[in-house]
Amino acid sequence: MQDRKKLAKHQTPSAAKTNIMYNIKKVLVGCTFFLVIVFLLQLFFGFSQDTSDNQNQGINLKFSVHDIYLAAHILRSKGEDNFSSDQFKDDIVLLQKYMEGLSKEHYDKLMAIDPSEITPQNMDSPKLKDVRLFIIKATETSFFGKILTQTYEYGKACRDQWQKNYPKTFDIIKELTGLPLNKTFTVYITHPSLKNRLTLQNDNAILWGNYEEWDNYSTVYLWHEVMNTYLPQDDVGRAVLELLCENHLRVQLNGGDYPPFINGTPDLKETKEKILDDWKAFLNSENKDILKFITQTKQKLTSTQ
């Protein structure tokens, strides 16, 4: 110990300066890491909260990011068809290429898994045991850190938009459907440059991510996913759902008119055209019951075939 003290006393000025600079760099690195953690925590706690003003009734969405599921979704979303936007596309492709270079074998195994198995609830499933560590490695890369920040920012924007529009849109949907709207869902946010839209009814969950193609896009489609759990999923039920959300609700928020129908499922266009006059009459009726309307519409279409 005494020898070390003697050495310290006899350090050259340049050596002492080097030690000082080294210690300054350590402090700066530590501060930078701390600030990054604080920033991510602020983003997380800024939007991962209940979004209904009245938690005891109505539709309550809880926005969340599941890191491992987010990484799995990104890695599986290879190819142009999976992108909703070119924004941040390079960041996503860099992560995909890096992980494929790290282990093509594990990447291929991940791609071979049935898409229905890739959900937040299944990340600990035995079916994913061969690729779970591979997915976790992706979350530990600097590429993923950048993507995670982008996803948190998008999640906060979705939450804020939903919260802003909720009072008006709840009243519209409630009046048009006559249904008891009192469910709670967890919305798992994924990257906005990749397409993701799915309702997991058994888990009361919605998987959501997409470029904001027009004003209030997320609000309209989150309502679409919510109403998926209320309306029948046959052709008439799905056509009515699109008339309700993508068309009527969108117009109520953004203005305009329909038709033309927007962002619809191609094979439902003919059905929507057939029932459009009945739909308009329904909108002008009192004491609306959307399930009754769907049943009557099915019967009418069947009798005219």
Residue-wise pLDDT tens digits, 147-203: 999 999 999 999 999 999 999 999 999 999 999 999 999 999 999 999 999 999 889
**Is the domain of 181 the same as that of 253?**
no
pTM: 0.82
Task: Classify residue 12: in a domain, yes or no.
Answer: no
What's the pLDDT score for residue 95?
98
In a domain, 36, yes or no: no
Asked if the structure places residue 68 within a domain, the reply is: yes
Residues 215 and 235 in one domain: no
Is residue 97 assigned to a domain?
A: yes
> What is the arrangement of strands in the sheet containing 184-189, beginning at the earlier edge strand?
60-64, 184-189, 205-209, 196-200
**Secondary structure class of 208 (helix, strand, coil):** strand
For 10-57, what is each residue's pLDDT tens digit? 445 454 445 545 454 544 444 444 444 445 554 554 555 444 444 457
> Using one digit for the tens of pLDDT, what is the confidence trace for 239-281?
999 999 999 999 999 999 998 888 778 889 999 999 999 999 9
Task: State how far the alpha carbon of 55 is from the alpha carbons of 60, 200, 222, 250, 305, in Å.
Answer: 7, 21, 18, 25, 46
Instruction: Map residue 186 onto helix, strand or coil.
Output: strand
User: Do 83 and 161 sit in the same domain of this protein?
Assistant: yes
Residue 191 lies in a domain: yes
State whether 129 and 263 are in the same domain: no
Residue 264 included in any domain = yes
* Domain presence at residue 15: no
Structure tokens at 15: 């050596």
Calpha distance 149→215 (Å, rounded): 23
Q: Residue 263 falls within a domain, yes or no?
A: yes
Distance of alpha carbon 247 from alpha carbon 261, whole angstroms: 6
What does DSSP assign to residue 224?
H
What CA–CA distance (Å, rounded) separates 79 from 76?
9
Question: pLDDT value at position 29?
Answer: 44
**pLDDT value of residue 303:** 83
| Residues 258 and 148 reside in one and the same domain | no
**How far, in Å, CA of 125 to CA of 71, rounded?**
16
Count structural domains, the chain. 2
Q: Are 166 and 199 in a shared domain? A: yes
220 and 243 inside one domain: no
* DSSP SS3 for 220: helix
DSSP H or E run through 267: none
Give the chain's end-to-end CA distance (angstroms, integer): 98
Enclosing domain of residue 156: 45-230
pLDDT at 43: 52
HSE-CB of 293 using CA atoms within 13 angstroms: 28
Please tell me whether residues 211 and 106 are part of one structural domain: yes
Last residue in a domain, options 207, 230, 253: 230
In angstroms, the CA 190 to CA 183 distance is 22
- Classify strands 196-200 and 205-209 as parallel, antiparallel or unpaired: antiparallel
For residues 99 and 211, state if they share a domain: yes
